């Protein structure tokens, strides 16, 4: 059985369309469609139904998907094991992580790791939300850092190191009329103009889910894919930015508050993850262990700005703030 066809089948199943799968696999759409047709002929089974513009797995396709993923993982593991036997403590380590993890954790961890393993090339792949888990299963990354959905690892061969969770924070200019205190209930926040991440981010999905649970209608002013854009607008007193606790805000003059619901901070779990079916070299195992320790030591960004910084910020003219936001 051609592993290339199986990889194509799995990718189409995950992407839901030929065009997206072809883009991910760097092949033409006709070539990809031909591989799917050849696989269906080989198996004597239709794998997909077309529903609108999407391809949806048939019942038979759904039953085969897990086995195909397992077979591809075993093939990757065998290849990696052979390479490890031949090269020793040197190689390439692919790490999938979100932009917040890259900035907050990997930026300070990677230089230390490089000192210990100078012959290991770490390739960082930027992801969003729960994409890291899928990349592990497809064999596109050795290690993933990201959101751990409830029960995500229960029925999968995924190893995890639990690290401190993300927490939703609200940030605004110190002069912005947001209720005082270091913790503010979400009901006191949603009426203000909100600077939110777009709906593809987990922190946005979490915020929306809590609003729905509480029966709240958020006042959305702006949606962005870049945290820095929201922070600049928040510093200009244009609204309240909703960020994750890993977001770096030291470059900005902002007041930070923890968002609560029914008196409790709003959090969602995260972890350092790897596929236990793959043979990880010692340097990769050490990467997982050391990174988890490093992330536990990092202080969460839940501290209020110093009173001096707040006083300086309050004295800055509003026109100056708007000028800075445009620059």
pLDDT digits (tens, 9 = 90+) for 242-260: 998 888 888 899 999 999 9
* Average pLDDT, integer, range 101-125: 92
- pLDDT tens digit string along 265-282? 999 888 999 988 887 888
> Contact at 8 Å (CB) between 68 and 9?
yes
Q: What are the structural domains, with CATH classification, of the chain?
A: 1-72 (1.10.10.10), 165-268+301-326 (3.40.190.290)
- Give me the torsion for CA of 133, 137, 142, 146, rounded to 10°: 0
Among 326, 176, 285, 147, CA closest to 238: 176
Helix residue spans in the chain (DSSP H):
3-15, 18-25, 29-43, 59-87, 99-101, 107-116, 131-138, 202-214, 227-235, 282-297, 307-315, 318-326
Does pLDDT of 46 surpass 80? yes
User: What is the per-residue pLDDT for 53?
Assistant: 78
User: What is the per-residue pLDDT for 10?
Assistant: 92
pTM greater than the 0.85 cutoff: no
Does pLDDT of 303 surpass 70? no
User: What is the per-residue pLDDT for 149?
Assistant: 67
- Specify which of 62-66, 120-124, 266-270 reaches the highest per-range mean pLDDT: 120-124
Helix residue spans in 88-201 (DSSP H):
99-101, 107-116, 131-138
Band (pLDDT 50/70/90 cuts) for residue 85 is low
């Amino acid at each position: 059985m051609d592993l290339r066809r199986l990889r194509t089948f799995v990718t189409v199943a995950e992407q839901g369309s030929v065009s997206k799968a072809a883009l991910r696999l760097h092949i033409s759409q006709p070539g990809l469609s031909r591989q799917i047709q050849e696989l269906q002929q080989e198996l004597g089974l239709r794998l997909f139904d077309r529903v609108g513009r999407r391809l949806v797995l048939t019942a038979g396709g759904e039953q085969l998907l897990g086995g195909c993923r397992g077979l591809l993982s075993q093939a990757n593991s065998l290849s990696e094991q052979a390479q490890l036997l031949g090269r020793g403590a040197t190689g390439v380590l692919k790490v999938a992580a979100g932009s917040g993890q890259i900035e907050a954790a990997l930026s300070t961890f990677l230089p230390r790791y490089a000192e210990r393993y100078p012959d290991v090339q770490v390739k960082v792949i930027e992801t969003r939300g729960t994409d890291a888990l899928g990349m592990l299963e497809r064999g596109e990354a050795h290690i993933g850092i990201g959101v751990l959905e409830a029960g995500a690892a229960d029925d999968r061969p995924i190893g995890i190191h639990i690290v401190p969770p993300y927490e939703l924070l609200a940030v605004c200019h110190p002069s912005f009329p947001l209720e005082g205190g270091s913790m503010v209930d979400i009901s006191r926040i949603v009426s203000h103009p909100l600077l939110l991440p777009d709906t593809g981010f987990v922190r946005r999905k979490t915020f929306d889910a809590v609003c729905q649970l509480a029966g709240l209608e958020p006042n959305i002013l702006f949606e962005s894919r870049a945290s820095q854009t929201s922070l600049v607008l928040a510093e200009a007193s244009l609204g309240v930015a909703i960020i994750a606790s890993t977001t770096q805000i030291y470059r900005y003059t902002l007041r930070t508050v923890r968002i609560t619901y029914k008196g409790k901070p709003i959090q969602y779990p995260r972890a350092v993850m790897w596929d236990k079916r793959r043979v990880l070299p010692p340097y990769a195992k050490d990467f997982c262990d050391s990174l988890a320790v490093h992330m536990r030591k990092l202080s969460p960004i839940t501290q209020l700005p110093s009173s001096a910084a707040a006083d300086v910020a309050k004295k800055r003219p509003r026109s100056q703030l708007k000028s800075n936001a445009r620059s």
